[in-house]
Amino acid sequence: MRSSLFIYGACFAAALLSTGAVAQEGQARATFPASFFSDANPQNALDLLERVPGFTLVEGSEVRGFGDAAGNVLVNGVRPPSKDVSLVEYLERIPAASVVRIDLLDGAVVGLDAGGSLLVANIVLAASDSSSGTLRINGEGVGDGRVGGSATATWQGSFRGASLSASVQGGRSGLELLEGQEMLFSGDGSLIEEGPLRDRRAEDTFASSLLASGRILGLDTILSGSIRTYAWGRFSENHLVAGGLLTRPRTDVEAQNYDRRASEVSLQLSKAFDRHEIRFNALRNTSDVSDSSSIEIRRTASDFDSSLFISDSDQTEDILRLSWEFKSNDWSTQFALESVRTSLSAESAFRRTLSSISQPVESEFTQVGEVRGSAAFSATYSGLPAFIIVAGLASERSRISLTSPLNSSNTYQFLKPRLSISWAASSKMTLSLSAERSVGQLDFSDFVGAQQVGDGSSTQTNADLQPPQTDAFRLAVERRWGESGSLGLTLVREQWKNLVDVVPVDLGQGVGNIPEAESYGFDIEVTWPVDFVLPGAELKLAGAWRDTSVRDPFNGRSRPPQMLEHDRTTLSLRHVLSSRLTYGGSYTYTPPRRIFRRDQFIEFLEGESMNVYGELTLREGLKLRAEINNIGGQDLDRSLIRYAGTRELADVSSVEIRERIGRSSLAIQLASTF
């Protein structure tokens, strides 16, 4: 309660003092001209951005609506107009030769387009009518002889006064081979059975996009469209032998397939006059998803058990957004109105065969619809020496309706205040303090019951879900030195309300809310030039740590939230040996992921991974890159503990352990500009 009063009161007071939130000239924390990147022989804007010290690219959030889906990159001061086209894909279209500089801006100064990021990169482009493009051909292979290949082509030019950019990509990638052992133990620790397993994975993609911009009837107009398909598949086979015997009484075969087809069209109109700018966005995207998972336990050709779960869903989203900006010497403001209409139709079916006898098929059809409206205001005052004060307030109202079997509807309404104060202690050091309330969105799939065939558990439908709320407090310090040295440290304190997790539903379990939870920790980002050891080399460290706890709704004990995935910690080295040759490598640690069910506990441990790469410029505009991933293999273990009743209160009935190693893979890329 105190934290809520503090946020509301502070934001209200700051709003009374200010009328404005967009970046002003000269407010960049750091500026990197095109010459800063010349030693890397970059081909596109993404190559440049990866070299910016103290910055990590953050893609937009996969949420409904446009305002909350922003990433941390602007192009000429404006966020890209598409949700479907990723920032990586968007930046790969922009030739490096057209980039004048990259400015790092305080996210608070950027305002509503910052998407909540503390640091935002603004890529400033030079006006040009010339055309250019890139072509990249990729190949990769893993230890079982499988190979994959993909290609990406981008082009940027003009036609009859309009600027055009396009991209097309497709192929097979993401090849993985996991090999190891599976062991099943009884509750008292006795080995029941064990055997080798082999797990293969791959993904197939195709995507194309087109963007056109120009002036129509005095309005700056951007029209974009995209289509894409994505298919991921996994096939695992495990031969189990009874403990102490040489026979093979059983073979387990697991398969998963995920297919997604999506399309999007968007229109952006903007008009700048005096110190004002008005922008209108209209966007529609559709997606069709088919997801299936199966497991077959075969003892003989005619004696087997199997389970198959299939889910097919169609989702459509329509967005209208109107925003206004005002800039002056010391003040700036932003105001935005947004309307979103989303619908999802999902059909699921579960089929089980026990001892070769088919059971009745369980099926369910669910429709979910949402109408969402929001208004957001952000104001910035920069008239005090070395200080920037930002206040914001957003309001949203949504109604989610569900058809059979739930036949219910809920209305949600929230206020989301925000306050941020930044202090430039020197030209190289900035401190900032922020307090913010955010409200998450309910995942439509959480309203659809599901069967996890891999572990035998299920979740029921739940019409009483509430969106999660977070009160976050951040204290950040950024220190830069030399040409490329930087240190960013952010202390984080979060208090959650209605955290979405797995909870008791009726006599089973389903996706629901945990009333309260809390978290604290830090994020760190370091770029450290090590010229004193290797001239032209630098180290980068990016990571996060959190101490998070919730009270388990099944047994009342403290535990982490369900499947909480913190950022990985990565330490990387990059050495520019000459104008033609660059090499480097990285070490990555991935925190464990945990699943908590009523009578089960599952833990995934990915372990550490190491990668190395080398880049050779064959001639101007032509570059060869080779990399080896997962040197020495990467552990990917899973532990599944089943209980005879409520988890940790009842006795353990069995323990299933999978110890797997991901094989190393080799990837080669040939990239050219034209």
Q: Is residue 33 part of a domain?
A: yes
Give the range among 174-178, 239-243, 413-417, 615-619 with minimum mean pLDDT: 239-243
Residue at 658: amino acid letter: R
Mean pLDDT of all residues in the chain?
Answer: 86
Q: What is the pLDDT of residue 351?
A: 86
pLDDT band at 21 (very low <50, low <70, confident <90, very high): very low
> Alpha carbon of 443 to those of 410, 446, 450: distances in Å?
14, 5, 14
Q: How far apart are the first and last CA of the chain?
A: 60
Please report the pLDDT score of residue 404 as a whole number: 67
The answer to whether residue 608 sits within a structural domain is: no
Q: Give me the pLDDT at residue 270, please.
A: 94
For the segment 644-648, the average pLDDT, to the nearest whole number, is 93
pLDDT bracket for residue 255 (50, 70, 90): very high
Q: Which letter, b or e, does each residue of 111-140 get, where b requires 16 or more Cβ atoms within 10 Å of its Cβ? A: bbbbbbbbbbbbbbeeeeeeebbbbbebbb
pLDDT bin (cut points 50, 70, 90) of residue 13 is very low
pLDDT computed for residue 247 by the predictor: 52
Distance (Å, whole) CA 592 – CA 603: 7
Cα(93)–Cα(333) distance, rounded to whole angstroms? Answer: 31
The pLDDT value recorded for residue 521 is 93
The pLDDT of residue 226 is above 50: yes
Q: Determine the pLDDT at residue 354.
A: 79
> Residue 260 above 90 pLDDT?
yes
Asked which of 149-153, 287-291, 312-316, 453-457 is least confident by mean pLDDT, the reply is 453-457
List beta partners, residue 539. Answer: 528, 573
Report the share of the chain in percent with pLDDT over 70. Answer: 91
pLDDT tens-digit map of 375-391: 999 999 988 888 989 99
The answer to whether position 491 is within a domain reads no
Query: How much is the average pLDDT of 280-307?
Result: 88
How far is residue 451's CA from residue 432's CA, in Å, rounded to a whole number?
Answer: 46
401-411 residue pLDDT tens: 888 666 788 89
pLDDT in tens, 502-520: 888 877 888 889 999 999 9
Q: Is residue 67 part of a domain?
A: yes
Asked, for residue 70, whether it belongs to a domain, the answer is: yes
Other C-beta atoms lying within 10 Å of the C-beta of residue 448: 22
Q: What is the pLDDT of residue 658?
A: 93
When pLDDT is averaged across residues 391-400 and rounded to a whole number, the result is 92
User: Residue 448: which pLDDT band, with cuts at 50, 70 and 90?
Assistant: low
Residues 6+ apart with CB under 8 A from 271: 218, 219, 220, 277, 278
In a domain, 386, yes or no: no
Give the confidence band of 476 by pLDDT, cuts at 50, 70, 90.
very high
Report pLDDT for 24: 40
Residue-level pLDDT at 639:
95
pTM of the shown model = 0.84
57 inside domain: yes
In this structure, how many other beta carbons lie within 10 angstroms of the beta carbon of residue 62? Answer: 9
83: domain CATH number?
2.170.130.10
Peptide bond into 417 cis (omega under 30): no
Cα distance between residue 664 and residue 625, in whole Å: 17
Cα 150 from Cα 156, distance rounded (Å): 21
The whole-number pLDDT of residue 23 equals: 37
Residue 531 falls inside a structural domain: no
Return the higher-pLDDT residue of 75 and 457. 75
Q: How many domains does the chain have?
A: 1
For the ranges 179-188, 279-288, 345-354, which has the lowest average pLDDT?
A: 345-354
Q: Are 71 and 91 in contact (CB under 8 A)?
A: no
Range of the domain at 120: 25-128
Residue range 54-83: mean pLDDT, rounded: 82
Which tens digits make up the pLDDT trace of 283-294? 999 999 999 999
Cβ–Cβ < 8 Å for 202, 148:
yes
